[in-house]
Structure 1
Amino acid sequence: MSGSDSASLVRYSAVTRAHRAIIFMDVVESVRLVEEDEAGFLGRWLALVETIRSDILAPLNGRLIKSLGDGLLLDFSDVRSAVTAAFAIRDVAQRLNEGLPVNARIHLRAGIETSDVVLDQNDIYGRGVNRAARLVTLAGPDQIVISAAVRDGLTADLDADIEDLGDCYLKHLAQPVRAYRIGPPGPNPVSEPAYFFTELLPSLAIVPFITRDSDQNDLLGEVVAEELIRDLSRSTELNLVSRLSTTAFRGRGATLEQIRANLQADYVLSGEYRTSGQSITIDTELADCKTGQIVLTTRQKGKVAGLLGGRREMIDHIAADVNKAVMKRELQRAQSQALPTLTSYTLLIAAIALMHRLSASDFDSAKALLDELVERGRRQAIPQAWLANWHVLRVQQGWSDDPDRDAQMALQCTKQALDSDPTCSLALAVDGFVHTNLLRRLDVARERYDLALRNNPNDPLAWSLKGTLHAFMGEGPQAMTCTRRALRLSPLDPRRWFYDSLAASACISARQYDAAVQLARRSLRANRNHTSTLRVLSVAQWQLGDHDGARATTRELLRLDPQLTVQGWLARAPSSPFWVGQEFAQVLGMTGVPD
């Protein structure tokens, strides 16, 4: 044994072992707070730490182990003292926030664990410390999450109001951990649903377009801006600043910085138009307010009468180009910058885009982005819903080495999403997706889709997935009604190929094979890696008598999913108990899929 090894053993044997309660606490969105006002944040943070040290820890026999740049590690001799301290710290933080702007307030989240640990004079070690740090990721702003061991040391209604979160999967822990969210005892709920302080979607301001024609007023510029706002407000990737707010900047020649400061816009769309007789030419310019860079310029030509009469081809083209440009910009930002520096909406938009490319490397990158977003607020509905969607697509593509675990992970994500926001139509729709495609609980799925649409009748994903459920059950007319409505609601969606694919499945169940081929081919032009679309196309081609085309499509399908077999597909396909699934499997076999 070397001298250094002997010295390490001596030091290790000299430390103290004890059963302790550990609090790990951090600041929500600390990176943003530092970037926006470093001196102000640090001053408030240091004042909070000093108050905790002098007014809270000493009376409760607590110890400050570490004060990090945006977090605390605290040690207590018993569970009740730790919980009391956590409530007191939250109260102090909320008092210090009084009178501050919303975006400058410090919000803490905490995780508490109790276990045997190793103590020395300056630090604390052991599984309890690691688990406390993992539990904190389950907490939203101003929330406290504890383990089952901490829960066992509390008396409900006397020590705390306690809410069971169920078995939760934590990073780097193989088995789920039973977790609970707590609040002060009393009649109030443990916590209100938590939300991000920065939006999950970038904001776009469309200022009225101007004309250089001396004999024209700006009426048409108002019409163009109004129509673009109406179009882009249907996008699921953008928040639109209201027309009444943007009209105030008409003719002012305001700078991007002025618009950003007054409207809190991330992007600004502006432009000019000119008329010649009955023709109109519209030039647009999309600017990134953060950098001042122009990220898109377009020119569209058409008829004035068409613009005023509701024929929207020009507007639709501009809106689609803007939507794609913003997604491309945020994806580039996500791929070129370190994750901690990225805004939440950059993480979300980039993750959605990469997930739906369905290439293995991009798919893995999407998971990393979603994990980072979830780490910032594990109790948020939207990121959890998209993470559940990731697990479903992973199984569908044949990339999962453990479909049952992916199903459980997906369920865990939707459970947490709906726990945070029971009315979130995205979370409800994705939960239906999980129950349809992974668990084959079609009765539960139908309830989820119906509830999603009651909460948001214009959710295209919920309509599309509900249509697919009808398709799996061989209910062709209902399937086509739902998927057609989804297509009408998502004209600008960058994932239009996904809606086209599900609409093609609906056509199969209605025996509309020509329409199925057209929709599947349109979907594949946008994304050739979606194995489900290839299966649909192969079946539709075969039923139309294009047997050579069907076999060629199946060869491409097997290249992407070489493990596919007819029996394997039947074992996991939600449609397998119905005539449409049996017919589908029979045709797949005839096109070349091994039995």
Structure 2
Amino acid sequence: MEHRLAAVLAADMAGYSRLMEADERGTLARLKTHRIELIDPAIAKNQGHIIKTTGDGMLVEFQSVADAVRCAAEVQIRMRRRNADVPEAGRIQFRIGINLGDIIFDEGDIFGDGVNVAARLEQMAEVGGVCVTQAVYEQVFDRLEIRFEDLGEKALKNISRPIRVWRAVLDDAADPRAGDGSARHSVVKPSIAVLPFANMSGESEQEFFVDGLTEDIITELSRRHELFVISRNSTFVYKGQSVNLREIARKLGAQFLVEGSVRKSGGQLRVTAQLIDTATDAHIWAERYDRKLDDVFAIQDELTAAIVATLPGRVEAAQQDVVARKTPANMAAYECVLAAKVRHHRSSRAENEEALKLVTRALELDPEYAHAHAWRGCILGQAWGYGWCADKDAAFDEVVRELELAQALDSNDADVQRILAAISISRNDLTKARHHQERALALNPNYDLVVVQHGELLTWLGHPKEGADWIRKAMRLNPHHPERFWSHLGKAHFTAREYPEAIEAFMHLSKMDANQHAFVAAAYHWLGDRTAASAHLAQIDKVDPEFTIDALVSTLHYENEADLHHLVDGLKSPEAAQVKA
């Protein structure tokens, strides 16, 4: 047995039994997500060591008292943000107690008075709160920007002596801007209101379908963090009324309105939808959907996905002309991010540099704009991937820092989870990538960048045919998708040994880089067309004289060695003798 002085953090989940009884699988899944995304990384970042876990709690040892308190504050503050949109009955919340004392290590577990006091303190803490002993308080009160409230001496169960207890006051710390004198710059996002769709069928039984369609569209649009969506309660006030659209827009504060109608005729259903710019009364977009009335709920899901997948892109496109006429110094944070996205998608070094300037300007306007931090990480990641940075290691570290900050500010942003998945892919940690990717899909299943990346991940995991299906779905979701989607599709088809389809996909690119020429050359090799293979191999040297197979391999993330060798073997054929290993 080993004795030593240590800071002990005891944490317990409030209402664990109640939550498990109500939804066992869902509770465990949410708890696992919080562990992976927040709790375990916070412990590791603060040099903590998890001694043991129970179903609803854990014991953690820290060498530094300050690290233990920092960790506890971070967990509780970020859990508060994560629970902001969760009904109170379903919230996962913790109590935390911290003590500094003598502990005994024996066979991987810890015992002793130091542990017992921490456990009792945890039981006294309020839900979402942190209690510490006098010994802890004396170590940190003047070292951390956290206030403490003296609760006085308390009699703790099975502890013979009274213990003086302090409560961490996390209200001010919950907002990192508090007390620094800085004003919050509000992010002015485009606002959109979905008016109740009109039932043109003359059948009252169709009202449930029409209202359900409208509500689903509002709910799904609300997943898009780049939009401010007016609530259902506000828009349904106008149901069945003859209204002036500009007057409604003024009352709701909406820049854009969506209106539509549903008409049933025999076994057919027709849904129309249109997007209106309220400043000009211009109809930006309109579409008509005709479906057979076989399963109204399936139709409702399909129409919702189709409309929601299209609208955000149309809203962005409508604003791009306005943004283009502004200088960055005069642009609001959202508009800077919007302009940065447009530049990023052009995938050139010069455009990437301009995109970085724009998104950096957005963060100057609002340092805590999570979506902007996520996109700054994405833009830096593009520079890292293409080698447009002087120090790749430093650039990658900066990408990781941006995404950690974005996740701390808003873990429910689909872009945050999408880019965290991309970082994990680049590290060949496909298990973690799948976790973040599934989170991104759950947050926004109709976002083309999330959907296309799911196809990429499935390709790396050895399911390229399924991956190709997801990539084609992303192309349908965004008919104006970035050109690189064709490259992703080409790689999926090649990995599936579908060579003609792979070549056809790559041929959609206006210009291929050396890696893309390599995939096409290998595809022609496996088809037995040595002439075409040689032509693309020759293009590799023209496009990138420094190209090597090893450099290509470093950009690939195949889980199955056979998939990697399939490409490499196609580039080590007789006609590929000039390609450098």
Q: Which residue of 1 aligns with 2:563?
A: 580
Q: Which residue of 2 aligns with 1:450?
A: 435
Q: Which residue of 2 aligns with 1:336?
A: 325
Contact 2:417–2:439 (CA under 8 A) maintained in structure 1: no
Residues 251-262 of structure 1 mapped to structure 2, 5 A cutoff: 251-262=240-251
Q: For residue 294 of structure 1, what is the amino acid of its counterpart?
A: A
Contact 2:462–2:563 (CA under 8 A) maintained in structure 1: no
Q: Which residue of 1 aligns with 2:406?
A: 417
What is the DSSP-based 3-state SS (H/G/I as helix, E as strand, rest coil) of the residue aligned with 1:333? helix
Q: Within the alignment, does 1:359 sit opposite 2:356 as a pair?
A: no
Partner Cα separation in structure 1 for residue 444 and residue 216 of structure 2 = 21
Contact 1:397–1:531 (CA under 8 A) maintained in structure 2: no
Q: For residue 505 of structure 1, what is the amino acid of its counterpart?
A: K
Contact 2:225–2:413 (CA under 8 A) maintained in structure 1: no
Q: What is the CA-CA distance between 1:364 and the residue it aligns to?
A: 2.9
Contact 1:319–1:492 (CA under 8 A) maintained in structure 2: no
What is the DSSP-based 3-state SS (H/G/I as helix, E as strand, rest coil) of the residue aligned with 2:477? coil
Q: Which residue of 1 aligns with 2:551?
A: 568
Partner Cα separation in structure 2 for residue 418 and residue 319 of structure 1 = 24
Contact 1:351–1:365 (CA under 8 A) maintained in structure 2: yes
Contact 2:521–2:536 (CA under 8 A) maintained in structure 1: yes
Describe the shift of the 1:326–1:463 C-alpha distance in structure 2 as closer, same or farther (beyond 3 A): closer
Q: Which residue of 2 aligns with 1:505?
A: 491
Partner Cα separation in structure 1 for residue 443 and residue 504 of structure 2 = 25
Describe the shift of the 1:208–1:400 C-alpha distance in structure 2 as closer, same or farther (beyond 3 A): same
From 192, 195, 201, the counterpart of 2:174: 192
Partner Cα separation in structure 2 for residue 582 and residue 560 of structure 1 = 24
Q: What is the CA-CA distance between 1:431 and the residue it aligns to?
A: 3.5
Q: What is the CA-CA distance between 1:366 and the residue it aligns to?
A: 1.9
Q: For residue 296 of structure 1, what is the amino acid of its counterpart?
A: I
Q: What is the CA-CA distance between 1:383 and the residue it aligns to?
A: 1.7
What is the DSSP-based 3-state SS (H/G/I as helix, E as strand, rest coil) of the residue aligned with 1:564? coil
Q: What is the CA-CA distance between 1:495 and the residue it aligns to?
A: 4.3
Q: Which residue of 2 aligns with 1:95?
A: none
Q: Which residue of 2 aligns with 1:270?
A: 259
Partner Cα separation in structure 1 for residue 407 and residue 546 of structure 2 = 34
Q: What is the CA-CA distance between 1:224 and the residue it aligns to?
A: 6.4
Partner Cα separation in structure 2 for residue 401 and residue 432 of structure 1 = 24
Q: Deviations over 1:84-118 (max 9, x none)?
A: xxxxxxxxxxxxxxxxxxxxxxxxxxxxxxxxxxx
What is the DSSP-based 3-state SS (H/G/I as helix, E as strand, rest coil) of the residue aligned with 1:476? coil
Describe the shift of the 1:203–1:484 C-alpha distance in structure 2 as closer, same or farther (beyond 3 A): farther
From 161, 169, 172, the counterpart of 2:145: 161
Q: Which residue of 2 aligns with 1:67?
A: none
Partner Cα separation in structure 1 for residue 283 and residue 539 of structure 2 = 36
Q: Within the alignment, does 1:208 sit opposite 2:191 as a pair?
A: no
Partner Cα separation in structure 2 for residue 386 and residue 515 of structure 1 = 32
Q: Which residue of 2 aligns with 1:296?
A: 284
Partner Cα separation in structure 2 for residue 272 and residue 518 of structure 1 = 40
Partner Cα separation in structure 2 for residue 553 and residue 233 of structure 1 = 46
Q: Which residue of 1 aligns with 2:357?
A: 368
What is the DSSP-based 3-state SS (H/G/I as helix, E as strand, rest coil) of the residue aligned with 1:450? helix
Q: What is the CA-CA distance between 1:268 and the residue it aligns to?
A: 0.8
Contact 2:284–2:318 (CA under 8 A) maintained in structure 1: no
Partner Cα separation in structure 2 for residue 558 and residue 490 of structure 1 = 31
Residues 61-100 of structure 1 mapped to structure 2, 5 A cutoff: none
Q: What is the CA-CA distance between 1:369 and the residue it aligns to?
A: 1.8
Partner Cα separation in structure 2 for residue 279 and residue 244 of structure 1 = 30
What is the DSSP-based 3-state SS (H/G/I as helix, E as strand, rest coil) of the residue aligned with 1:270? strand
Q: Which residue of 2 aligns with 1:427?
A: 416
Partner Cα separation in structure 2 for residue 423 and residue 302 of structure 1 = 34
Partner Cα separation in structure 2 for residue 462 and residue 299 of structure 1 = 24
Q: Which residue of 2 aligns with 1:327?
A: 316
- TM-score w.r.t. the length of structure 2 is 0.55
Partner Cα separation in structure 1 for residue 188 and residue 395 of structure 2 = 25
Contact 1:202–1:237 (CA under 8 A) maintained in structure 2: yes
Describe the shift of the 1:543–1:227 C-alpha distance in structure 2 as closer, same or farther (beyond 3 A): farther
From 473, 476, 480, the counterpart of 2:462: 476
Contact 2:272–2:288 (CA under 8 A) maintained in structure 1: yes
Q: What is the CA-CA distance between 1:368 and the residue it aligns to?
A: 2.1
Partner Cα separation in structure 2 for residue 200 and residue 555 of structure 1 = 51
Q: What is the CA-CA distance between 1:410 and the residue it aligns to?
A: 1.7
Partner Cα separation in structure 1 for residue 169 and residue 212 of structure 2 = 52
Q: For residue 526 of structure 2, what is the amino acid of its counterpart?
A: Q
Describe the shift of the 1:190–1:555 C-alpha distance in structure 2 as closer, same or farther (beyond 3 A): farther
What is the DSSP-based 3-state SS (H/G/I as helix, E as strand, rest coil) of the residue aligned with 1:208? coil
What is the DSSP-based 3-state SS (H/G/I as helix, E as strand, rest coil) of the residue aligned with 1:268? strand
Query: Is there any run of 5+ residues in structure 1 with no aligned partner, and where?
Result: 1-154, 164-184
What is the DSSP-based 3-state SS (H/G/I as helix, E as strand, rest coil) of the residue aligned with 2:196? coil
Q: Deviations over 1:14-52 (max 9, x none)?
A: xxxxxxxxxxxxxxxxxxxxxxxxxxxxxxxxxxxxxxx
Contact 2:451–2:474 (CA under 8 A) maintained in structure 1: no
Q: For residue 364 of structure 2, what is the amino acid of its counterpart?
A: E
Q: Deviations over 1:507-546 (max 9, x none)?
A: 444444455456556xx46x75677655544443443345
Q: What is the CA-CA distance between 1:355 and the residue it aligns to?
A: 0.9
Q: Deviations over 1:192-213 (max 9, x none)?
A: 3669874575332222344889
Q: Which residue of 2 aligns with 1:151?
A: none
Describe the shift of the 1:567–1:488 C-alpha distance in structure 2 as closer, same or farther (beyond 3 A): closer
- TM-score w.r.t. the length of structure 1 is 0.54
Q: Which residue of 2 aligns with 1:14?
A: none
Q: Within the alignment, does 1:385 sit opposite 2:380 as a pair?
A: no
Contact 1:429–1:449 (CA under 8 A) maintained in structure 2: no
Q: Deviations over 1:451-481 (max 9, x none)?
A: 5635864566667657645645xx413x655
Query: Is there any run of 5+ residues in structure 2 with no aligned partner, and where?
Result: 1-138, 148-166, 178-183
Contact 1:509–1:580 (CA under 8 A) maintained in structure 2: yes
Q: For residue 351 of structure 1, what is the amino acid of its counterpart?
A: A
Contact 1:388–1:410 (CA under 8 A) maintained in structure 2: yes
Partner Cα separation in structure 2 for residue 245 and residue 157 of structure 1 = 47
The number of equivalent residue pairs is 408
Describe the shift of the 1:462–1:338 C-alpha distance in structure 2 as closer, same or farther (beyond 3 A): closer
Q: Deviations over 1:175-234 (max 9, x none)?
A: xxxxxxxxxx95538733669874575332222344889x78895865764575577567
Describe the shift of the 1:449–1:320 C-alpha distance in structure 2 as closer, same or farther (beyond 3 A): closer
Greater Cα offset, 252-261 or 229-238: 229-238
Q: For residue 462 of structure 2, what is the amino acid of its counterpart?
A: G
From 386, 392, 397, the counterpart of 1:403: 392
